Each structure stands twice: as C-alpha cells, then as structure tokens.
Chains A and B, each alone.
Chain A
C-alpha cells in the first residue's frame, strides 16, 4: 500500500488552458497549436468543455504538451490564456499560485496577476483583428519551445488545403510576432522560463494522427464497410454523422438526416435488409426514441450498429457535457428478451477498432451492437499511430438464397440462421416483427414461439465466446483493483501511474456487455475493488456485481458533467484506499 517513491514535484507536461466565450476562436488556436506542437516533435493532448450555446458563455480547452505520451485531462493549469472577463472566474477553482496568466489586460477584470499581452493591438498592427488567434498560437509555440519552422510550414499547408492561400503571408507574420513576444516575455523575465519544462522532441511522432473520438468512430465505420447512416443531429453524437457525410461521396455512403430518431433506426434496419452496412448515431434522448426499433432488430434478427454518445440526463440534462450515465439504457433499451453487445472504447484506437468489430459482430450474430462513447471521447484527441486498414475482403455474412430459403431456419445449431437479402438468389426474404415461423410468417404456435425464443437468445452464448477480455494494467499480484470502463481509460491509468502503488492494478473494460467470462477471476483476486465511473449510481459496478456475484463496496463517482481529472482522481483513489485500508 505504500508508494514506491515520493511523488515527483515536477510534472511531465505543461497544461495550457484557453478560455473564453464561444465564437472567440479558441478552437482555431487549439487546432493550429496542437498540430504545430506535434510537428515539432511533442506529444499533445487536447480536450474541451463547452456550454450549450452558439455564441458567448464560457468554454475552455485544455492542451497538454509533453515529451511523454499524454491522454487525459488534469485539473492543474500551468498557463492560462483568458480571452474575456468571464474566463478567469470560470476556471478559478483550477488556478493556484503557480498558474501563469497571459492576456489582454484591457479585456479582463481580475485581481490576479496577469502578464499583459495585447493580442488585439498586435493583430491590428498586422492589419486585422482576426490575426489575434494566430499571434496567441505563436506565443504559446514560443513558450513551449516549439519549432517555428514547422509552425510556418503548417500554416502554409493548412491554408493551401483550404484554398485560401491569400491568408498565408499575414498569418505567418502573426505567428512570428507571437513567437517573438514569447521571447520578449522570457528575456524581460516577465515569465520565468524555469517554470516550464524543457522537453525533448521526437522526430518519429511527427506523423502521428491527431483525430478525436468522433473521427475514430467514423473511420472505424468506413473501414468496416459502413455505407449507410441515418440519424437525427444530437450533441454530442453528431460528429460521427458529420464525419461520414463529409466522406459520403468518397466511400459510397448514403447519409440521411431523418425527421426523428424513430425514422433513423427503422431506416437503418431497412438498409441492412437490402444489403447495406448501416449505423445510427445518437445520444440518450435519441436512443430513448429508438428503443422500439432496437427491439425490432432483436426479433427480426437484423444486424444493427448504434453509436450512443452519452451526455448527462435525465431528459435534456446537460446537452454538451459528459457522463457515463446511459449504460443501463443501452443494456435495457427495447422490450422483450433478445441478445445484444455493448462496446465502450477507452482509447482513440479502441474507438476505431471496436467500431470495426461492431459491424462484423452485428452482421455475424444478427444482433444490435452498441458503441458507447461520451462527449469527452468525441471531443478529445492525442497522438496516436496511424491506423492500419484491414486487408483482404470485408467479411460478409450474406448468403445467396435458394428457392426454398427460410429466413428463420431452425435447423441450425448456434441460433444463427443464414441471412439472405431480397433479389439475391431464388428465394424470398421475409422478416416479421410478430413472432414468426421459419418463413417469417406470423404465428401464435407456442411450440414455434419456444423454439424461436431459444434460437434468438442462444446467440448470446455464441457471441460471448468472442468478447473482448478486460485489460489489466499494473502488478498481477495486486491487492487492490480499480475498475473502469470506456472513456476513463487514460485518466485512471495516469492517476495510478502518478500514485505509483505496488499493489494496485487497473482493470479496464472495452466490452461491457455481455460481461466477459474472465472478469470474475480478476475480481476474485482483489481484497478491495474500487469502481470508478462518470455517473451517479455506479452502473457498471452494479452490472459486474450481478454478473459475477462479487460485491463492490468502494465507488468513486463523478456526475457534474465533466470528466475526471487525473490529479483529482489520484487524490480520491488515495483516500478511498486509506479509508478502507485496502480491504472490503
């Protein structure tokens, strides 16, 4: 239980936070800066929290820069760039005496020490107020000792790609101006350069990908041959719809914005029936409307892929914020009994991988498969290696039908009747939402009912065999086991690395249902299990308890709409262990 060594006082990274109203350009600064830093050879991480409004309010983006891989947010702020007077109050509980605040004093109203940099005045000198953002990028690139040459090259590439070459010269000027300003601040000792790390740069990470969770799900879908998406826009799930729509022409994808979520899921089931690989993307409220459709997929034995990006409920809740509150919704959505699969990516790479699997398993087992993400996952990115594109043919489980084809053939031993589609062979494909016989015809024959129930539900045993096992990180001879699922992967991992206990391990689940068989063995070994979830009830620990019969007494839960912060979580884990003394 004792820490191996003392916590290092010095951090491995610089935590930069940009804060201001929507529409002030935070996103632009984040996008440019993170790419320039990555091209400089640094590891970067970015995430954002924002209000449900188009203009104004207070939004913030955190960027961590490091010479170590970083994949999680921290509460600590080393460098704050406030863009308006509401910004400092918005993050005040995250500021301490080490936080350096740099901003346009004129625009702020605070008793805290602010290093004055007049971004807008400098921008006007270049010719337009819009350059304030690029100046800020230059300043931050300078303070983090990023590579100005890479920065300039990135601007050239960025504006050429957008076919806006005319913006290149002045943006380069602005970048240089900001970079020089960083030099001035250090030279004039307005910023103590010892307060920042001098970080190593790595050439080989230059070509890493910086893509967020929404893009990773979208790419996973494309790589799995997804060619149909029907959805209704809803934060935070819309990114996937937008991504697939952007590339619809390149990859022969039909993308349809429907009148409601009910139409979305019914369309998608129709698309699978006609031979497409279809998905829907939605959030909790939308999924609530889709539940009857999920049940339809269950009885029709239609494949279905549902991306459910969670946000805090009930009802409209906090539309732009994050939570792991819809596991039970995904688990129980849809009346009647039928098997399903629920996947919950932890890393960006997982989002790509599990989405691929979702299509494969949906098709193979003819069941609905959920990909459970959240706002945090959608809006977060960090360095990852380029995804590999699956080689060979995409597995298709569609058969050519014979004249005597029966869609619900009972003469199969694994519950999976081969799936045909209309006009692909001599047979007819007849699907029914009523209980049906082998031909899909409505029936109330109770013998057949029993056989069909057993056939459908037996698929659960089949698909369980392939389930993603949970991943154990840390010592194998642990006494204490932290359990997490989905988006908390990097946060819990870094918190435990920080704590550096010799007897605490972390078990992460990227498949939450059916609960993988081996889970029980991991849980059995622990003296204390600490469940860490971004929700109020500890929904996954309840599911684990039901599936394994092992009680989980300690829970660390957060439900204010924000993800856990590494530093905050580390403290909580620490006190959870102290309180219980590492015992049940």
Chain B
C-alpha cells in the first residue's frame, strides 16, 4: 500500500513564501501519486527553473531539475528511453510558456505520454515581480511600468488549436479537484497539459486568491471530445472556466510510434547490443 508519507521530503525546508499556491499544488500532486498507487522509484519529475520548478525538491521521487524553460525535451526523452516510468514535467508560466515556449509547441506535436503541470500565477516570482507571458493587459510591474502591452499567452487555446491530446485547467484553491485532474492527466495515454491557476501572494496583487475565486467557474455540460466547443470555452475571457476542456484519445503517443518500442517494450538499459548486425553492416560497406 502506497502512503502519502512516501512522497514527502521531510528534512527539506521549502523556499516558498507562506501562503503560496505552490503548497496546495504540491499536496494535490502527492495525493494524485498516492491514489494511483505509484512507487516513488517509478516516478520522475522533470522541471526547469523558477519557484514552481522547485517542486520536485519537495517530493520524494526521481528528479531531473534542469535548465530554465527546458523541462519538456528531457521529459520526452526519459519517457522514450524507459516507457515504464511515469514522467511529469513541472514548472511555472514563465518557464513553460516563455523561455520554453518553442518546446511547448513541439511537445504537443510529439504527444509523448507525459503530464505537463504548469503553475500559472501570471507573474514572475523568483526574479521578483516582472510580467510573465500570461500576465494580463495593463499589469504594472517594475519593468512593465506602463503596464503589459502584449497579448497574454492563452495556453489552453494554443494547445487545443494544436490538437493536444489532453487539456485541462484547475485552480489550486480546490485541492481535491486539482488532485483529481492531475490523476486523470497522468492516466491519460499521451501528452496532458494541466494549467494550474495559483495566486502569488508576494508579487501579484491583482490576481489574488479572491480574484481567482470570482473569475473562474467549473465547466459543466461540456463535451471534452468536441474540439470546437473546447476551443470556444478556452477563449472565454470574462470568467475563466476550469476543468477538462479537451481530450483526444485516438492519438498514438510518441513512444508508441517509435520503432524501437514496436516489438519490444523493455527499457534501453536491459537491451543487448546487436554485434552481429554491425558486422553485417560493415561487410555490406566493403563492396
């Protein structure tokens, strides 16, 4: 029996501010892993840089805490080389939609069976309060002194436009629902995006806990298999819907399509080197 405690890193003190949404997301993730009866050894969390990207330090699983913006490429490769692992890429809005924006697009195209958790607080925390790619129009910071003048990234619309195979948004204030959707995202056999609204108690005085409560609502009577409907919901701006927007279960995952896994599912480490084939190849080059 897998216990919640197995995923806790007891000796580590977090670097997060008191009241940060990250605590709730961490708890929801630990809950999801427990509910799925996963062993810590089978789980890898890949992250980049930022306050959100520190999450794997506070959870007892395998960790690849790499470069800013670059969690998705190694996550894709890890899953491809060992499909038996549960791979989660986790980071913030700046990390995933800004610095790593190009990988976001191309990972959707590849459709690896990984879960993509993006803590979206619409501001940069670790660098102390500048605008993020999801900051709203007019959001004033020490750098954007006249307020943000660029269109915010709409990650859900972007993902649905590219036919991402699982697209969801949650608010971390509802830990139970957050855990539940993370669980579904992990179970989904392909790329799964969960954009997670969270307040930044230190640097975002606009999009507060209260603001998220007032500006969100749960998707109901929504057909998540209908891409057009999903897109229409994703571009709503007045009030922001939460839940599973879109699912495409017909898509094959990246690993499934790789010829190396067609006949054999074993991780690379357990495979034998094909010496005889190499001898044959060299002989063929002699003519």
Q: Which residues of A contact B (CB under 8 A)?
A: 35, 39, 154, 157, 207-211, 215, 219, 222-223, 225, 227-228, 230, 247-254, 256, 258-260, 262-264, 266-271, 273-276, 278, 292-293, 296, 300, 386-387, 389, 391, 393-394, 396, 398, 421-434, 440-442
Contacts and interface: CB of A to CB of B under 8 A. Distances in A.
A-B residue pairs, 5 tightest by C-beta:
A270-B74, A270-B77, A275-B269, A274-B81, A259-B106
Contacts of A428: 40-41, 60-63
A228 B77 contact: yes
Given A391-B275, A428-B62, A429-B63, 8 more contacts: A209-B282, A269-B74, A271-B77, A274-B81, A386-B286, A394-B273, A426-B41, A430-B62
A219 B279 CA distance: 11
B85 A430 contact: no
B64 A270 contact: yes
A483 B281 CA distance: 36
Contact of B78 (A271, A396, A432): A271
Contact of A386 (B66, B269, B282): B282
B275 A269 contact: no
A54 B67 CA distance: 37
Contact of B80 (A251, A271, A292, A424): A271
Contacts of A271: 74, 77-78, 80-81
Given A273-B74, A387-B282, A428-B62, A249 B267 contact: no
B260 A274 contact: no
A35 to B, nearest CB: 7
A251 to B, nearest CB: 6
A78 B240 CA distance: 77
A247 B281 contact: yes
A55 to B, nearest CB: 29
A431 B63 contact: yes
A127 B221 CA distance: 70
A275 B277 contact: no
A258 B106 contact: yes
B277 A251 contact: yes
Nearest to B275: A389
Interface stretch (B42-50, B194-202, B210-218): B42-50
A326 B14 CA distance: 43
B77 A252 contact: no
Contacts of B63: 428-432, 440
10 contacts: A252-B260, A254-B258, A264-B73, A267-B74, A268-B77, A275-B269, A300-B66, A394-B273, A423-B62, A430-B65
Given A428-B61, A431-B65, A422 B277 contact: no
Contacts of A432: 57, 63, 65
B278 A389 contact: yes
A433 B260 contact: no
A441 B12 contact: yes
A254 B66 contact: no
A446 B140 CA distance: 37
A219 B267 CA distance: 23
Interface in B98-113: 102-103, 105-106
Contacts of A228: 77, 80-81, 268
A260 B282 CA distance: 32
B66 A296 contact: yes
B54 interface: yes
A275 B78 CA distance: 8
B67 A249 contact: no
B274 A250 contact: yes
A421 B269 contact: yes
B67 A433 contact: yes
A561 to B, nearest CB: 29
B259 A248 contact: yes
B287 interface: yes
Chain B CB within 10 Å, residue with most, of A254, A386, A429:
A254
Interface string B249-287: 000000000111000100111010111011101110111
Chain B CB within 10 Å, residue with most, of A248, A256, A267:
A267
Given A219-B282, A260-B102, A432-B63, A422 B82 contact: yes
A157 to B, nearest CB: 6
Contact of A263 (B49, B61, B79, B102): B102
Given A270-B46, A270-B64, A441-B12, A254 B81 contact: yes
B76 interface: yes
B117 to A, nearest CB: 17
B77 A267 contact: yes
B75 interface: yes
A157 B70 contact: no
A436 to B, nearest CB: 8
A228 B267 CA distance: 13
Contacts of A422: 41-42, 44, 62, 78, 82, 85
A254 B80 contact: yes
Contacts of B102: 259-260, 262-263
B226 interface: no
Contacts of A256: 77, 80
B174 interface: no
A430 B63 CA distance: 4
Chain B CB within 10 Å, residue with most, of A219, A266, A424, A441:
A266
A35 B287 contact: yes
Contacts of B267: 274-275, 423
Nearest to B262: A249
Contacts of A263: 70, 72-73, 102-103, 106
A442 B54 contact: yes
B84 interface: yes
A432 B65 CA distance: 5
Contacts of A296: 66-67, 70
A266 B271 contact: no
B12 A433 contact: no
Nearest to B283: A386
Contact of A429 (B42, B62, B74, B258): B62
B268 A275 contact: yes
Contacts of B285: 209-211, 215, 386
Interface in B24-60: 40-42, 44, 46, 49, 54, 56-57, 60
A241 B279 CA distance: 21
Contact of A266 (B56, B73, B80, B275): B73
A298 to B, nearest CB: 12
Contacts of A276: 77, 81, 268
Chain A CB within 10 Å, residue with most, of B12, B75, B106, B275:
B275
Contacts of B278: 219, 222-223, 251, 389
A260 B104 CA distance: 12
A259 B77 contact: no
A227 B268 contact: yes
B73 to A, nearest CB: 4
Contacts of B85: 274, 422-423
B78 A252 contact: no
Given A247-B281, A270-B73, A422-B41, A441 B81 contact: no
B111 to A, nearest CB: 13
A423 B103 contact: no
Chain B CB within 10 Å, residue with most, of A270, A393, A394, A432:
A270
Chain B CB within 10 Å, residue with most, of A269, A391, A393:
A269
Contacts of B79: 274
B78 A274 contact: yes
Chain A CB within 10 Å, residue with most, of B40, B46, B49, B82:
B82
Given A207-B286, A274-B82, A433-B49, A442 B73 contact: no
Contacts of B40: 428
Contacts of A424: 269
